[in-house]
């Protein structure tokens, strides 16, 4: 099992996603002799998981069943243990696109946090790219290194425990892109520019407050960055459902005295208006409430040296 390569068979030591429903999933590490308790009963790792195919339907001890899914960055984002606030798929998709990431890209990231964005970056730049991620908090950095190793992506990532605003990313002139998710991103612009290739590259800064965006944009301008833009991504999920809609009675149209005869002429049966005629149809309705602001994404391009 690897987060960047698909495997067919579940093996001991793999991380799998137990799917109980769209709103109920959990990640577990497969270990021989271990058991996992769910509301449908116990899952025995040795007999129910090891040697089974990813995507299998597993029957629990109480007779209920779950699906065992191969982990992906998207599934990990909604199931990971939160050590910090994380980025979700809505913002992640725009970040990987706007930073122009592809297989072989070299990326700098700060801070690592819970690793939500890190896993998506790693899948995008695999198999020949590399991620240099910096985390200020020592325990979070150590936990991130442990997870990358368990997820079989440690060969694609270097984790550094340091202050990016003071010590930078630990590399010079090799990065294609830089991502900043720190309280004072304007203090790291100098280090971001020195880490990027001389032929240019892309930078993204995520900030929840517009005052942070303003200071970051000023620093980007001072350091010669171009194509600076800030955007906010909002997601509104519509609910597709079946509804019954009443048909209004507008009365006869003007000049339609012969409407009954016309209906007969074309082989149609005139339907009497009972006052409660309705039609069944499927429609999409927007949510009454929606999650709004997550943060501002500021993008910029480093020009050629």
Asked if 133 and 145 touch (Cβ cutoff 8 Å), the reply is no
To the question of whether residue 116 is assigned a binding role by annotation, the answer is yes
To the question of whether residue 117 is assigned a binding role by annotation, the answer is yes
271 DSSP assignment: P
* Burial category of 255 from C-beta neighbours within 10 Å (exposed 0-12, middle 13-18, buried 19 and up): exposed
To the question of whether residue 114 is assigned a binding role by annotation, the answer is yes
To the question of whether residue 275 is assigned a binding role by annotation, the answer is no
Provide the strand spans (E) within 106-238.
Answer: 106-110, 130-135, 157-161, 177-180, 201-207, 226-231
Cβ-Cβ contacts under 8 Å for 120 (sequence gap 6 or more): 73, 74, 77, 92, 96
| Separation of alpha carbons 172 and 214, rounded Å | 27
To the question of whether residue 97 is assigned a binding role by annotation, the answer is no
In 64-112, which residue ranges form alpha helices assigned H by DSSP? 73-77, 89-98
Which of 305, 144, 290 is CA-nearest to residue 225? 305
Asked if 304 and 200 touch (Cβ cutoff 8 Å), the reply is yes
Provide the strand spans (E) within the chain.
Answer: 15-21, 24-29, 35-38, 41-44, 57-59, 65-69, 106-110, 130-135, 157-161, 177-180, 201-207, 226-231, 239-246, 278-285, 296-302
To the question of whether residue 105 is assigned a binding role by annotation, the answer is no
| Separation of alpha carbons 99 and 189, rounded Å | 16
Structure tokens at 112: 């690592």
User: Which amino acids are annotated as binding site for S-adenosyl-L-methionine, given as ranges?
Assistant: 114-117, 135, 181
User: Which amino acids are annotated as binding site, given as ranges?
Assistant: 114-117, 135, 181
């Amino acid at each position: 099992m690897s987060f960047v390569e698909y495997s067919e068979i579940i093996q001991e030591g793999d991380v799998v996603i137990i799917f109980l429903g769209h709103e109920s999933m959990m990640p577990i590490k497969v270990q021989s002799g271990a058991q996992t308790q769910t509301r449908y009963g116990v899952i025995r790792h040795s007999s129910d998981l090891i040697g089974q195919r990813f995507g299998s339907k597993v029957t629990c001890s109480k007779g209920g069943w779950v699906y065992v899914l191969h982990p992906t960055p998207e599934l990990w984002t909604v199931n990971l243990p939160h050590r910090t606030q994380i980025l979700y798929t809505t913002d992640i998709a725009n970040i990987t696109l706007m930073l122009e990431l592809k297989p072989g890209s070299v990326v700098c990231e700060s801070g690592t946090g819970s690793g939500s964005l890190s896993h998506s970056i790693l899948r995008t730049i695999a198999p020949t790219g590399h991620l240099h991620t910096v985390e200020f908090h020592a325990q979070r950095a150590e936990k991130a290194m442990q997870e990358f190793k368990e997820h079989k992506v440690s060969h694609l990532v270097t984790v550094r425990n340091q202050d990016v605003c003071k010590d930078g990313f630990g590399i010079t002139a090799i990065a294609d892109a830089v991502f900043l998710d720190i309280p004072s991103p304007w203090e790291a612009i100098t280090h971001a520019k020195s880490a990027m290739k001389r032929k240019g590259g892309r930078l993204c800064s995520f900030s929840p407050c517009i005052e942070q965006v303003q200071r970051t944009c000023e620093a980007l301008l001072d350091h010669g960055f171009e194509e600076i833009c800030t955007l906010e991504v909002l997601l509104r999920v519509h609910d597709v459902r079946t509804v019954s809609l009443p048909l209004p009675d507008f009365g006869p149209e003007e000049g339609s005295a012969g409407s009954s005869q016309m209906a007969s002429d074309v082989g149609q049966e005139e339907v009497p208006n009972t006052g409660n005629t309705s039609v069944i149809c499927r429609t999409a309705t927007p949510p009454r409430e929606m999650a709004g602001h997550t943060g501002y994404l500021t993008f910029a391009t480093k020009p050629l040296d």
